[in-house]
């Protein structure tokens, strides 16, 4: 896809996210809660019926070495997208480090199978267009749950759409290679589901209100990742609480 198309898409997306700004604090901006809860119920059943089963199967068939290799290749293939985003964010040093990381892992790491760059001090450092929008001052927007995708915000959803077109590697891949890249990414996600099975099950399938848990965790973790002040931090005195009797 051409840069022109990317930029016009990006402007549309930024405008979309911009319209829906308004009041994320003090808690969560969730005007679509009823709809989101329906999607959440669907996603939870997809997780139970498909993703978590696939995870168990994947772990049973593939050795840890194979899974690490899959993860590393998936990460290496996503690095060009991270570099583009870091340039757009004005984080040139990190973009430079990631360019080096890509070069090292693609060559010395046998096409990305081994993460040799991490051993050289070039640690995993990922970003996305959602973060780029944040750096550009676009507000978080409303909280959303998207079928098959899970929790996101209007800003992050817009970012994910742009990211599909942002990897400079993709236009250079043959259709078969592109399918392989997607397959690796899916396998990587499925593997993560299995690796964190107990924690994910406890939130998704054991909590009294998994929707609220996921929303709280997604938004707080995302804001932390982006260096956005969590609203609770504004709480002047978290200790002002009557604990008599407890």
Partner 1 sequence: MTFPLSRRTFCTLGVAAFALPAQAFALTDGEARRLVQTLVEEINGVIDSGRPESAMIAAFESIFARYADTAYVAAYALGADGRSATAAQKRAFSDAFNTYVARKYGRRFREFEGGRFEVQGVRAQNNYFEVPTRVYLRGEAPFDVTFLVSDRAGRPLFFNMYVEGVNMLLSERTEIGAMLDRRGGNIDALIADLRRAG
Instruction: List interacting residues with partner 1 (CB under 8 A).
Output: 64, 68, 123-124, 196, 198-199, 202, 207-209, 212-213, 216-217, 220-221, 223-225, 230, 232, 236-239, 241-243, 245-246
d(CA 21, CA 139): 5
Q: What token pair was written down for 34?
A: 């009823």
| 136: three-class secondary structure by DSSP | coil
Do you know the residue count of the chain?
Answer: 246
Q: What token pair was written down for 216?
A: 């709280």
State in angstroms the smallest separation of the CB of 23 from partner 1.
19
- Name the residue nearer to partner 1 (CB basis): 170 or 192: 192
Cβ pair 79, 98 in contact under 8 A: yes
- Name the residue nearer to partner 1 (CB basis): 38 or 124: 124
State in angstroms the smallest separation of the CB of 6 from partner 1.
29
State in angstroms the smallest separation of the CB of 186 from partner 1.
20
- Name the residue nearer to partner 1 (CB basis): 3 or 241: 241
- Name the residue nearer to partner 1 (CB basis): 91 or 215: 215
Residue with the two structure tokens 């009823």: 34
Cβ pair 96, 104 in contact under 8 A: no
d(CA 161, CA 147): 14
State in angstroms the smallest separation of the CB of 86 from partner 1.
17
């Amino acid at each position: 896809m051409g840069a022109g198309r990317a930029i016009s898409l990006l402007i549309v997306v930024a405008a979309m996210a911009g319209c829906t700004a308004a009041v994320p604090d003090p808690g969560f901006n969730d005007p679509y809660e009823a709809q989101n809860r329906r999607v959440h119920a669907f996603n939870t059943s997809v997780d139970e019926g498909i993703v978590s089963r696939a995870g168990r199967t994947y772990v049973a068939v593939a050795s840890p070495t194979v899974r690490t290799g899959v993860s590393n290749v998936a990460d290496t293939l996503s690095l060009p997208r991270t570099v583009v985003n870091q340039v757009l964010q004005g984080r040139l040093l990190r973009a430079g480090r990631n360019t080096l990381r890509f070069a090292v892992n693609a060559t010395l790491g046998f096409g990305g199978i081994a993460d040799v760059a991490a051993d050289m001090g070039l640690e995993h450092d990922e970003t996305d267009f959602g973060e780029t929008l944040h750096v550009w001052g676009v507000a978080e927007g409303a909280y959303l749950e998207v079928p098959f995708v899970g929790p996101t915000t209007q800003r992050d959803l817009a970012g994910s759409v742009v990211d599909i077109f942002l990897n400079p590697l993709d236009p250079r891949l043959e259709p078969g290679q592109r399918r392989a890249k997607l397959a690796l990414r899916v396998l990587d996600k499925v593997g993560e589901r299995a690796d964190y099975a107990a924690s994910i099950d406890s939130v998704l399938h054991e909590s009294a209100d998994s929707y609220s848990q996921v929303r709280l965790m997604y938004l707080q973790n995302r804001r932390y990742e982006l260096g956005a002040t969590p609203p609770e931090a504004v709480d002047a005195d978290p200790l002002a609480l009557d604990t008599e009797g407890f």
